[in-house]
Copies of this chain bind each other. A is one copy, B any other.
């Protein structure tokens, strides 16, 4: 297996695959030599490669585990070095049109099947990686037009053995859903933390008064800035739609507060409460 990117996701995947003996040698590549060394020490990879192309040369399974903005340049770099029959996959948070663009860069003897394990944590980098990260998580496979059924079977089995429950869905549908339940929540958290930080410049005591709610937001807002930058750029259309929906909900709340409409506020809060019981555990 080749891991391109040895941060939280790539590192955890290497550690988990090694521990469960799902793959042979794991070769890793990333731009930071120190991170590659730590990845070897943490047993996420067996050895570092000096380039992405070198890393993939012998690999039956190649995983893109960088921010999604690097997928295309990386795939261009490795395309001619990929082994015939190799399966290329990723662990990115955006699919949509990107899936087709990656497929278009590949030689016909390589199959691409994109995956998105719904696992993560606030920390990033190889130090935060853990072999248990995917245990019990949901993993979404989003086949493009060129994906083949045998690749689907193979990757489903791979993720299931890592402890994930696998669901297949359309790449564009993936982006529409994730914009609402993942991308928008992160933006909302970043904006909230920025507001409080700005205000704390005038009133330094402010952050000391934060209790439960706010702390959850700071945790969410501690995720990798590069990763979220790329998600915002790549899933722009769906995120803008989600933001517009959000803006108008918040504007409705504002009007209810301004006009002192307690009954409608209570009703809004009461119905938001109900969603919790509808979530899978």
Q: Which residues from B are CB-within-8-Å of A243? A: 250, 253-254, 257
Contact (Cβ within 8 A) B233 A195: no
Given known A197-B272, A210-B279, contact A253–B187 (CB-CB < 8 A)? yes
Number of residues in A with C-beta < 8 Å to the partner?
91
Contact code string A230-259 (vs B, CB < 8 Å = 1, else 0): 101100100110110111011101101110
Q: Distance in Å from the Cβ of A279 to the closest Cβ of chain B?
A: 6
A149 within 8 A of B: no
Q: Which residues from B are CB-within-8-Å of A236? A: 257-258, 260
Contact (Cβ within 8 A) A198 B245: yes
Contact (Cβ within 8 A) B250 A209: no
Contact (Cβ within 8 A) A247 B250: yes
Contact (Cβ within 8 A) A203 B177: yes
User: Per a CB cutoff under 8 Å, which of B138, B210, B226, B233 touches A257?
Assistant: B233
Contact code string A168-191 (vs B, CB < 8 Å = 1, else 0): 010000001110111011111111
- When chains A and B are docked, how far (Å) is the Cα of A233 from the Cα of B216? 24
Given known A189-B213, A196-B181, A216-B220, contact A207–B269 (CB-CB < 8 A)? no
Contact (Cβ within 8 A) B209 A279: no
Q: Which residues from B are CB-within-8-Å of A211? A: 118-120, 137-138, 181-182
A275 within 8 A of B: yes
Which residue among A212, A225, A228 has the maximum number of chain B CB atoms within 10 Å of its CB?
A212
A199 within 8 A of B: yes
Q: Distance in Å from the Cβ of A201 to the closest Cβ of chain B?
A: 12
- When chains A and B are docked, how far (Å) is the Cα of A198 from the Cα of B242? 11
Instruction: Identify whether the interface residues of A are mostly helix, strand, loop, or mixed.
Output: helix
User: Per a CB cutoff under 8 Å, which of B192, B213, B228 touches A265?
Assistant: B228
Given known A176-B203, A279-B218, contact A242–B193 (CB-CB < 8 A)? no
- When chains A and B are docked, how far (Å) is the Cα of A276 from the Cα of B188? 16
Could you tell me which A residues sit within 8 Å of B by CB distance? Answer: 69, 118-121, 137-138, 140, 169, 176-178, 180-182, 184-199, 203, 205-223, 225-226, 228-230, 232-233, 236, 239-240, 242-243, 245-247, 249-251, 253-254, 256-258, 260, 262, 265-276, 278-280
